C-alpha cells in the first residue's frame, strides 16, 4: 500500500521556470490538500480539493494552480517560479472529514528557486 506518493523529492528551479509537483494516493480518499512548510511558520494550506473536479484556495494560493481530474491525482503547478516559493511542499489526503479521521501525508518535495 503506497499511501500518498509525491514526486519529485528534490527540485531546483530558476526564477521564471514552471513545473508540476505530482501527488497521487491509492486509498480512494476524497479529500486532498497541498501545504507548504517554511521555517518558523508551520504548515500553510495552498489549495485543497473535496473530490474530483472540485478545488478551492487555501491560505497561500498565489502563484500556484491545481486541478483534480481523478480521485487519485492532485498535481500542484508553479506557473512562474519565484524565490519566495522556495519551501518544502506536502501533499495530504483523507477519507472523510469527521471524527478522528487523520490526514495522510506524502514524504514532501523540497523545492529551491534560484
Partner 1 sequence: AQKITQTQPGMFVQEKEAVTLDCTYDTSDQSYGLFWYKQPSSGEMIFLIYQGSYDEQNATEGRYSLNFQKARKSANLVISASQLGDSAMYFCAMRDPNFGNEKLTFGTGTRLTIIP
**Binding site residues, partner 1, CB under 8 A:** 31-33, 35, 40-45, 48-50, 58, 88, 90, 92, 94, 96-103, 105, 107-108
Give whichever of 52 and 103 is closer to partner 1, judged by the CB atom: 103
Shortest distance, position 78 Cβ to partner 1, whole Å = 20
State phi, psi for 84 to the nearest 5 degrees: -65, -15
Check if the beta carbon of residue 107 is closer than 8 Å to that of residue 23. no
Closest CA to 4 of 19, 27, 25: 25
The rounded distance, in Å, linking the Cα atoms of 85 and 114 is: 10
At its nearest, how many Å lie between partner 1 and the CB of residue 16? 27
For the bound state, the minimum distance from the C-beta of residue 90 to partner 1, rounded and expressed in Å, comes to 7
Nearer Cβ to partner 1 (31/64): 31
- For partner 1, the closer of residues 81 and 92 by Cβ is 92
Residue pair 36/87 in contact by the 8 Å Cβ criterion: yes
Shortest Å, Cβ 94 to partner 1: 4
Q: Which is nearer to partner 1, 14 or 97 (CB)?
A: 97
SS3 (DSSP) at 66: strand
Stretch (H or E) spanning 29: none
Amino acid at each position: 500500500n503506497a499511501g500518498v506518493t509525491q514526486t519529485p523529492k528534490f527540485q531546483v528551479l530558476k526564477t521564471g521556470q514552471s513545473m508540476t509537483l505530482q501527488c497521487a494516493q491509492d486509498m480512494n480518499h476524497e479529500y486532498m490538500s497541498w501545504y507548504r512548510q517554511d521555517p518558523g511558520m508551520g504548515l500553510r494550506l495552498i489549495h485543497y480539493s473535496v473530490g474530483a473536479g472540485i478545488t478551492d484556495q487555501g491560505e497561500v494560493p498565489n502563484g500556484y494552480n491545481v486541478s483534480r481530474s481523478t480521485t487519485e491525482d492532485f498535481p500542484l503547478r508553479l506557473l512562474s517560479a519565484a524565490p519566495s516559493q522556495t519551501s518544502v511542499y506536502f501533499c495530504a489526503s483523507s477519507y472523510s472529514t469527521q471524527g478522528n479521521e487523520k490526514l495522510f501525508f506524502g514524504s514532501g518535495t523540497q523545492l529551491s528557486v534560484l
